[in-house]
Chains A and B, each alone.
Chain A
């Protein structure tokens, strides 16, 4: 070829410096992409061709492909049978999720949602290539997995997904309020399909489970929760981060691991049912059959105590708090402060004061400082015990000097004003 007629492709290759051994390629994302492709864990196993059990459905937006599976209600996923969801208490779910709308809905009419996408970054180019939707129908649990054989089928798939979601009464997901919902919603808007989410309550299990169990487990991931709370053990699970490669391999006609992605997605959607069932029993702490609930009881009790305190249900909060103290070996002084605060709010100022002063005796630290400050307030304002208040304030002031790093003027000034006031009340000359 003469130099004058070099093809656009030749020019691009040279300009983008992709052929040069000496220098780095100009395109960072290309480097990353190639590094991923070269990773040994992808592409070695797996099979070529279209995944099994797919059937086609026609819609106004074209043909799309689905895998439908049905599970008996008695089917076990971990320690739970899917049908146990019926015993979930909607009020417990609503309280833990802090969403009163959920009190009104029947979780048996929920759609359980989890999707696999070509990336986590979001944006118009991220494709949801596998949409898993589970629901109870005719006494069975039906899992629908809508699959894209190519990006051109997206509108058709989304149309069906939107219909299925719209036909339900509530959406159940894990982290779906932040991820799955938005991926689908954005894509539906792009294809001018009305997104169904605005009209539906959404139970995103991540948040209530995080509230109840965050102290007990290193992270709040779905797989951590399902193992700890529902006894689910996955075998040969393909990590979600490999999902994009599996689909790209399939598109390119290479051997792929899509079957593993289908299984991963199925496990996710089944776990949503069990986690929702667990959440619905977490206030009574027993299964319908009377078995004790799995998962850390101490964390759960604290979680409920905090939730009830936020709902200003002081009696319930105090019960849970006491329960948490019983379940914890050794006294956690900051929890005792929380407990004392509940006592005071319920009107038991005397016991609150005693507890705060006991906490303050337990060490010379910031917890002791906070306890003395609270003790002083209760003594001064609730019980009018000036000398007790004075004593606590004096101790608090010395604690400030011991444990608060400079600048501490604000803290100190506030206490000194209290001190002056109390000395006046006690008739002590300053």
Chain B
């Protein structure tokens, strides 16, 4: 449970608590030394202190069952925090609840209490289903929950149901599990398609608990939203109406996120009343090593240099890296210099996915009892696994989202003393932005989570699974629909008539669609997208797989002749069988790598929304406009260049012959009217690269305001668009059918433009670099200057206002 603060029994050992006291006083010392350091002090762009906060406590609700209160009290829990009390009250009122507070604020207790209450009130008849994003989390939770349940009754049980559950105990678990802990994948592929075996669970399902819902966005979130629609349908079939209890990190607009995910109105509890010690944040900006190109020192290398000040025998430090290889490299560096930090090499550990479970448990235990002083981890230690609270957290690069940032920073902070988090900024626009605007991190979350359960591809796949589970009746589904999706009957008809997965039958006046195929659809439907269509990368000599890549990326990375790199080794693609999705590679040492060029053609299918403003200097003329549109994108890989390592000199180019990639999706478009571009001098041909630089920068900073990776967005820039007849930047959602990134971009365009301007303006480079508009080779000598002018123009002046859509002629669209 993450209720460490409230459960003294689960705190660390004697040794751990001694460290706890020492650690706090050490933190002040570390900060003092950093601020006094002749070199590093100036590199800390900012220091931010969040004062210690006293907790606000509240009594147990009166209606909470006396046995439950007794058990909680016996575990040292005298009272609740206000937010826990409010959440419990709401749940007991029968509301759907979302608790969105920080790590270690006691969310687990908030949903454990109502669940146990339902067991007590129903004399053990009530069932509940808990979902966690990882196996490790559910196993952790299961242990502590069982201890609690065991004190209430001998005959109640909670079980973890995941891929590791042996078939021999599955039956017991299905029939006797009062609380079943699982994950969305098992629900999707194991439980729902076999719901009859789980009849005991569904007949009296009172609560569905979903932990860490902030991880559910994009394709995964949109798929999971449909899995919940299926869950709801099955529960209704067995006559139960479960209440949902969600928990998450703090979120931008949590109510809306829950609505998209569940199709329900939830009550949000967002005011964190748990106490916390003082939190000190520092943002470290590595020194510039190449003034012209604006290149900064490598963040990993800087982490190594800072380590002697951040690590020591009297406290615990956690480093977060964004890649597994970085974890290994940094762990090795630190072990090598352990003595100089007063540590033994075995007190420094690496931690990442791919380590064996026992190995991981051992490291976790070492962190809890204080014998491990330094751990270097990927995001594997980001989500809930109990390792106790540490003292110093170092983020080697921004993790890509505010939620991740806070989960990582939440790993440090003991009561009664300060904790320190240091973010080492990389040469990346987002990191550059944060170095200048650390307040972004401390204000309310800004990222929008894109979830679109009605994405037609995802919806149709999920409807196959749903129809397998229960037939669809036109009338009775009508009441609740399938989460109210507008396309239900059309998709069902499509699946029946064109795919023959379903047979429609008429019973009286009622139409019903039945599953009628020799298949188990959930097996072929992934929640994260892409998988069935991936290209397998094979060693031509051994036939063994060395990697996998999405079909979409395959045309630019594993075309014949491409150099594919794995951990520093070069492989040459000998053969690419596009139809069978297999690429055959041979290990070939080369002194060059390859870069493919693509032609992207964006065709407008439909205009959805527009905002614009008139040109200040010439009334009646349009200035800039933003659009939300549906597009068809055709990507053709045209040729690839061989580029020598280090010197980057081009040593030849060859054609690529592969079919084009086609995509229907939603896009955000920025247009600059001809009059405006004339004013900005954006006509001459060479300026096109500056326009492209603007597009690239927008794509890179967008993740500040919507939860995605830059690679989730496709980019096409046109200096004279066929459709708009002026310069246009298209940023489109790369998920077929889109999951709503285009809409989020449209809503947040002003903040994104502003952030892009800030980054370009503050960047130390002279003429463009990878951390802003792109290097000079790409944007040209005037690129940065022009891009800055464009961004300034966009950000200054009036806000855009909704504008009626123009009538588009058919031939314009086609």
Residues of A within 8 A of B (CB): 2-4, 6-9, 11-18, 20, 22-24, 26-30, 32-33, 36-37, 118-119, 121-127, 150-152, 185-187, 189-190, 244-245, 248, 251-252
Closest Cβ of chain B: how far from A8's Cβ, in Å? 4
Chain A residue at minimal CB-CB distance from B237: A190
Whether, in the assembled complex, B289 has its beta carbon less than 8 Å from a beta carbon of chain A, the answer is no
**Across the interface, which residues of B come within 8 angstroms of A127, CB to CB?**
514-516
Whether, in the assembled complex, B193 has its beta carbon less than 8 Å from a beta carbon of chain A, the answer is yes
B664 touches A118 (CB 8 A): no
Whether, in the assembled complex, B468 has its beta carbon less than 8 Å from a beta carbon of chain A, the answer is yes
**Across the interface, which residues of A come within 8 angstroms of B581, CB to CB?**
24
B664 touches A124 (CB 8 A): no
With A22-B660, A28-B532, A118-B516 known to touch, is A189 a contact of B199 (CB < 8 Å)? yes
With A26-B457, A124-B195 known to touch, is A32 a contact of B505 (CB < 8 Å)? no
Closest Cβ of chain B: how far from A50's Cβ, in Å? 15
Closest Cβ of chain A: how far from B740's Cβ, in Å? 15
A187 touches B196 (CB 8 A): yes
Chain B residue at minimal CB-CB distance from A125: B468
B518 touches A118 (CB 8 A): yes
Q: Which of B467, B491, B517, B813 has the most CB of A within 10 A?
A: B517
Q: Using a Cβ cutoff of 8 Å, how many contacts connect chains A and B?
A: 153
Measured in the bound complex, the distance between the Cα atoms of B471 and A27 in whole Å is 21
Whether, in the assembled complex, B662 has its beta carbon less than 8 Å from a beta carbon of chain A, the answer is yes
The segment from B23-31, B94-102, B519-527, B647-655 found at the interface with A is B519-527
**Across the interface, which residues of A come within 8 angstroms of B517, CB to CB?**
29, 33, 118-119, 248
Measured in the bound complex, the distance between the Cα atoms of B505 and A157 in whole Å is 17
Chain A interface, >50% SS class: helix
Closest Cβ of chain B: how far from A236's Cβ, in Å? 22
**Across the interface, which residues of B come within 8 angstroms of A244, CB to CB?**
518
Measured in the bound complex, the distance between the Cα atoms of B660 and A125 in whole Å is 37
6 pairs of A and B residues whose beta carbons are closest in the complex: A125-B468, A22-B659, A186-B196, A151-B514, A125-B515, A119-B518
Whether, in the assembled complex, B501 has its beta carbon less than 8 Å from a beta carbon of chain A, the answer is yes
**Across the interface, which residues of B come within 8 angstroms of A11, CB to CB?**
456, 664, 737
B524 touches A28 (CB 8 A): yes
**Across the interface, which residues of A come within 8 angstroms of B580, CB to CB?**
24
B520 touches A33 (CB 8 A): no
A23 touches B505 (CB 8 A): no
Closest Cβ of chain A: how far from B628's Cβ, in Å? 14
Measured in the bound complex, the distance between the Cα atoms of B501 and A18 in whole Å is 14
B491 touches A12 (CB 8 A): yes
If A9-B493, A15-B457 are given as contacts, then 13 extra A-B residue pairs at C-beta distance below 8 Å, sorted by A number, are A3-B606, A6-B605, A8-B494, A23-B661, A24-B581, A26-B457, A30-B499, A121-B520, A123-B520, A125-B468, A151-B516, A190-B470, A251-B516
Closest Cβ of chain A: how far from B188's Cβ, in Å? 12
A12 touches B456 (CB 8 A): yes
Measured in the bound complex, the distance between the Cα atoms of B500 and A2 in whole Å is 28
A3 touches B196 (CB 8 A): no
B579 touches A24 (CB 8 A): yes
With A118-B518, A121-B520 known to touch, is A23 a contact of B460 (CB < 8 Å)? no
Q: B578-607: which residues lie under 8 A (CB-CB) from chain A? A: 578-581, 605-606
Residue from the list B195, B461, B471, B499 in contact with A33, Cβ < 8 A: B499
B498 touches A8 (CB 8 A): no
B193 touches A32 (CB 8 A): no
**Across the interface, which residues of A come within 8 angstroms of B662, CB to CB?**
14, 17, 20, 23
**Across the interface, which residues of A come within 8 angstroms of B661, CB to CB?**
23
B499 touches A124 (CB 8 A): no
Interface string of B658-700 (1 = CB under 8 A from A): 0111101000000000000000000000000000000000000
**Across the interface, which residues of A come within 8 angstroms of B578, CB to CB?**
23
How many chain B residues have a CB neighbour from A under 8 Å? 60
Could you list some 27 contacts between A and B, CB below 8 A? A3-B605, A3-B814, A8-B456, A12-B460, A12-B494, A16-B460, A23-B579, A23-B659, A23-B662, A24-B579, A29-B464, A29-B521, A29-B524, A33-B499, A121-B520, A122-B194, A124-B196, A127-B516, A150-B503, A150-B514, A151-B503, A152-B505, A152-B507, A152-B512, A189-B197, A190-B196, A248-B517
Residue from the list A2, A121, A252 in contact with B503, Cβ < 8 A: A252
Whether, in the assembled complex, B89 has its beta carbon less than 8 Å from a beta carbon of chain A, the answer is no
Whether, in the assembled complex, B469 has its beta carbon less than 8 Å from a beta carbon of chain A, the answer is yes
Measured in the bound complex, the distance between the Cα atoms of B507 and A375 in whole Å is 75
Closest Cβ of chain A: how far from B704's Cβ, in Å? 29
Chain B residue at minimal CB-CB distance from A122: B194
A125 touches B493 (CB 8 A): no
Chain B residue at minimal CB-CB distance from A14: B664
B494 touches A185 (CB 8 A): no
Whether, in the assembled complex, B551 has its beta carbon less than 8 Å from a beta carbon of chain A, the answer is yes
Whether, in the assembled complex, B810 has its beta carbon less than 8 Å from a beta carbon of chain A, the answer is yes
Measured in the bound complex, the distance between the Cα atoms of B487 and A121 in whole Å is 29
Whether, in the assembled complex, B736 has its beta carbon less than 8 Å from a beta carbon of chain A, the answer is yes
Closest Cβ of chain B: how far from A162's Cβ, in Å? 14
Closest Cβ of chain A: how far from B305's Cβ, in Å? 47
Closest Cβ of chain B: how far from A194's Cβ, in Å? 12
**Across the interface, which residues of B come within 8 angstroms of A22, CB to CB?**
659-660
Residue from the list B193, B494, B659, B664 in contact with A123, Cβ < 8 A: B193
Chain A residue at minimal CB-CB distance from B506: A152
**Across the interface, which residues of A come within 8 angstroms of B480, CB to CB?**
none
Q: B166-205: which residues lie under 8 A (CB-CB) from chain A? A: 193-197, 199
Measured in the bound complex, the distance between the Cα atoms of B533 and A419 in whole Å is 63
**Across the interface, which residues of A come within 8 angstroms of B471, CB to CB?**
151-152
Measured in the bound complex, the distance between the Cα atoms of B736 and A20 in whole Å is 14
Closest Cβ of chain B: how far from A189's Cβ, in Å? 4
**Across the interface, which residues of B come within 8 angstroms of A185, CB to CB?**
196
A125 touches B194 (CB 8 A): no
Chain B residue at minimal CB-CB distance from A118: B518
**Across the interface, which residues of A come within 8 angstroms of B193, CB to CB?**
123-125
Residue from the list B467, B491, B512, B519 in contact with A119, Cβ < 8 A: B519
Closest Cβ of chain B: how far from A54's Cβ, in Å? 18
Interface string of B777-814 (1 = CB under 8 A from A): 00000000000000000000000000000000010011
With A9-B490, A15-B737, A26-B457 known to touch, is A36 a contact of B518 (CB < 8 Å)? yes
A16 touches B457 (CB 8 A): yes
Measured in the bound complex, the distance between the Cα atoms of B460 and A17 in whole Å is 13
**Across the interface, which residues of A come within 8 angstroms of B606, CB to CB?**
3-4
Measured in the bound complex, the distance between the Cα atoms of B810 and A18 in whole Å is 25
Q: Which of A7, A15, A17 has the most CB of B within 10 A?
A: A15
B507 touches A13 (CB 8 A): no
Measured in the bound complex, the distance between the Cα atoms of B514 and A187 in whole Å is 14
**Across the interface, which residues of A come within 8 angstroms of B514, CB to CB?**
127, 150-152
**Across the interface, which residues of A come within 8 angstroms of B195, CB to CB?**
124, 190
A26 touches B532 (CB 8 A): yes
Closest Cβ of chain B: how far from A135's Cβ, in Å? 26
Closest Cβ of chain A: how far from B577's Cβ, in Å? 11
**Across the interface, which residues of A come within 8 angstroms of B507, CB to CB?**
152
Measured in the bound complex, the distance between the Cα atoms of B500 and A124 in whole Å is 18
Chain B residue at minimal CB-CB distance from A150: B505
Measured in the bound complex, the distance between the Cα atoms of B659 and A99 in whole Å is 63
**Across the interface, which residues of B come within 8 angstroms of A2, CB to CB?**
810, 813
Measured in the bound complex, the distance between the Cα atoms of B517 and A150 in whole Å is 13
Residue from the list B461, B468, B512, B605 in contact with A124, Cβ < 8 A: B468
Closest Cβ of chain B: how far from A159's Cβ, in Å? 16
Measured in the bound complex, the distance between the Cα atoms of B199 and A3 in whole Å is 46
**Across the interface, which residues of A come within 8 angstroms of B659, CB to CB?**
22-23
A8 touches B487 (CB 8 A): yes
Residue from the list B457, B464, B494, B519 in contact with A9, Cβ < 8 A: B494
Chain B residue at minimal CB-CB distance from A22: B659
Closest Cβ of chain B: how far from A370's Cβ, in Å? 30
Closest Cβ of chain B: how far from A21's Cβ, in Å? 9
**Across the interface, which residues of B come within 8 angstroms of A17, CB to CB?**
662
Chain A residue at minimal CB-CB distance from B459: A12
B810 touches A3 (CB 8 A): yes
A33 touches B194 (CB 8 A): no
**Across the interface, which residues of B come within 8 angstroms of A189, CB to CB?**
196-197, 199
Measured in the bound complex, the distance between the Cα atoms of B521 and A121 in whole Å is 10
